[in-house]
Structure 1
Amino acid sequence: MLIVWGKNDEYFPESGAEAFKKDVKNIDYNIYDTGHFALEEDGDEIIEKIRGFMAKVGSVK
């Protein structure tokens, strides 16, 4: 599972992302210094993270 989360998100706090660690064994956990609109602030980096993850799991060639 890929987790990409803004640590300053007022709607979905970082504790929500942290909870996945308890139940998911294979996790790519990424917290960005941003808020709710992480893609607007760190979009290029997050897009590359998504592409890399998808390639790793074999969904994108």
Structure 2
Amino acid sequence: MQDHAQTLGVEYLIWDGLIWSLARDAEGWRPYDGGGMHDPDSITGSHADHLHVTVRAGS
């Protein structure tokens, strides 16, 4: 998904406590705190058990 983000319309990915965004691709995967939504003590809240994908509208 990351390699083909532009084609797929991916804006950002969150996985295993990290975030990657197309807009900040040069920075790579960065720590994710979720702005209050992230729970590092929860396997689900830390996105360790799933990949979160956000795509642009119309994709």
TM-score over 0.5 (shorter chain): no
Q: TM-score range by the shorter chain?
A: under 0.3
Q: Which has the higher helix share?
A: 1
Q: Which has the higher strand share?
A: 2
Give the TM-score, by structure 2 length. 0.25
